[in-house]
Chain A
Amino acid sequence: GNSVTQMEGPVTLSEEAFLTINCTYTATGYPSLFWYVQYPGEGLQLLLKATKADDKGSNKGFEATYRKETTSFHLEKGSVQVSDSAVYFCALSLLSGGYNKLIFGAGTRLAVHP
């Protein structure tokens, strides 16, 4: 079936450290891929997306590249800030039952310390 697997958290980093959160997917067809972020006490919000192989999504210093050969969409940031502390969700979108259905990974909690 279609699914998303993320690295387990929590990920704990010091401010200005390099961040990688791994995400791999299994899908029939050609999904679009997304990263959503959930700040404490809030709903999820779209961080970035990529719609086809080799596309790079980027936003707020975060980047992720759609790698079809490794079925991956790892999230990276060169220098994290305390304000980046949140839960990050990888997701894929596939046409299913006549509509685009978003399937989320389990989420990875990031804690950044000063």
Chain B
Amino acid sequence: DAGVIQSPRHEVTEMGQEVTLRCKPISGHNSLFWYRQTMMRGLELLIYFNNNVPIDDSGMPEDRFSAKMPNASFSTLKIQPSEPRDSAVYFCASSSGRLNEKLFFGSGTQLSVL
């Protein structure tokens, strides 16, 4: 298996633009997580999906952020409009089973909002 695949690896955009990050989880995994990593705040959980249904979105910063999982093999995280403070590395992770203890992370998307 290729692991969790994220795209793009790097994204540079201007303030106010829409940004869409993409994730393909490992086949057969039923849980998907979006995390944001910054120097100041470390690794923050943004949203958790189980069987394509959002279970916990309490970490989504504000209405500018939205996430979807239309099927078991694809998820998106959208920021509209983007702001400089959204600059971070965004990770997608997936896991299988009930315990969600072993997460498999993608390589991340480095987002820079100018």
Q: Which residues of A contact B (CB under 8 A)?
A: 32, 34, 36, 41-46, 49, 89, 93, 96-107
Convert B31-72 into 0s and 1s, putting 1 for each residue whose CB lies closer than 8 angstroms to a CB of A.
100000000001101001010000110000000000000000
The reply to whether A101 and B101 contact each other, CB–CB distance below 8 Å, is no
The reply to whether A99 and B56 contact each other, CB–CB distance below 8 Å, is yes
Task: Give the interface residue-count category, chain B.
Answer: 20 to 34
Where chain A touches its partner, the secondary structure class is strand
Q: Which residues of B contact A (CB under 8 A)?
A: 4, 31, 42-43, 45, 48, 50, 55-56, 91, 93, 98-108
The reply to whether A32 and B101 contact each other, CB–CB distance below 8 Å, is yes
CA A93 – CA B108 in complex, angstroms? 22
The reply to whether B45 and A101 contact each other, CB–CB distance below 8 Å, is yes
CA A98 – CA B52 in complex, angstroms? 16
Where chain B touches its partner, the secondary structure class is strand
Q: Chain A residues with Cβ under 8 A from B104's Cβ? A: 43, 45
CA A98 – CA B48 in complex, angstroms? 12
The reply to whether B55 and A102 contact each other, CB–CB distance below 8 Å, is no
The reply to whether A43 and B93 contact each other, CB–CB distance below 8 Å, is yes
Q: How far is the CB of B109 from chain A (nearest CB, A)?
A: 11
Q: Chain A residues with Cβ under 8 A from B99's Cβ? A: 32, 93, 100
CA A100 – CA B93 in complex, angstroms? 14
CA A112 – CA B98 in complex, angstroms? 37
Q: Which 9 pairs of residues, A with B, have the shortest CB-CB distance?
A: A43-B105, A106-B42, A104-B43, A100-B100, A44-B105, A46-B102, A43-B106, A100-B99, A93-B101
